[in-house]
């Protein structure tokens, strides 16, 4: 597999949210705005890149019987680092994302990529895979957050461009289900054609 294909695979062909339907908890909970979606996606991307790199470097040292717990410890180290950096430099975003930052540790996208790719491939290819999957995850969260913010409040990045209130349901978690459902249907329809 070429390095460009490894990088773009997670963005297009195996998008975690829109194709693989993985990592749905943050997609439903934190995407009430474009900024929250972008922030959560980039935080997850950081953890995924660092985790894939570490797992690929340590793959021959980790006994197969304890690999999942060791993977989770690595995820926790990197997620905690990202959480502390967010609270230090972006406290408002960190407050908005709340408990979902530490929950990056149990995001099934990260475990799936560690198990299926990073422990079987080179360090550089694993970094590319983590970056591609993370960017695909970020893109999906950003799109969902943008649609929900526009329809729910008539704004994007805090700039109002629709008079009056938006449609309340799109700010609620049920609005995330609706938006993600339509996006998945759209992506699948386009991929068939």
CB atoms under 10 Å from CB of 173, counted, come to 11
**Whole-number percent of the chain with pLDDT over 70:** 99
For the chain, the domains span 3-192
pLDDT of residue 191: 86
pTM: 0.92
Residue range 67-76: average pLDDT? 93
d(CA 48, CA 130): 5
The DSSP string of 153-192 is HSEETTEE-SSS---GGGTSHHHHHHHHHHHHHHHHHHHH
């Amino acid at each position: 597999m070429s390095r460009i294909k490894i990088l773009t695979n997670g963005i297009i062909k195996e998008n975690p949210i829109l194709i693989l339907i993985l990592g749905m908890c943050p997609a439903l909970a934190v995407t009430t705005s474009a900024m929250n979606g972008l922030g959560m996606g980039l935080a997850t991307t950081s953890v995924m890149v660092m985790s894939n790199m570490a797992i690929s470097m340590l793959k021959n040292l980790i006994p197969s019987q304890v690999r999942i717990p060791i993977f989770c410890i690595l995820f926790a180290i990197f997620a905690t680092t990202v959480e502390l950096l967010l609270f230090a430099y972006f406290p408002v975003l960190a407050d908005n994302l709340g408990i979902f930052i530490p929950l990056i540790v149990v995001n099934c996208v990260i475990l799936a990529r560690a198990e299926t790719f990073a422990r079987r491939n080179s360090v550089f290819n694993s970094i590319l895979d983590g970056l591609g999957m993370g960017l695909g995850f970020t893109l999906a969260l950003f799109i969902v957050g943008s649609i929900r913010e526009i329809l729910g409040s008539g704004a994007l990045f805090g700039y109002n461009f629709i008079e009056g209130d938006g449609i309340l349901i799109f700010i609620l978690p049920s609005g995330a289900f609706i938006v993600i459902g339509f996006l998945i249907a759209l992506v699948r329809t386009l991929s068939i054609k």
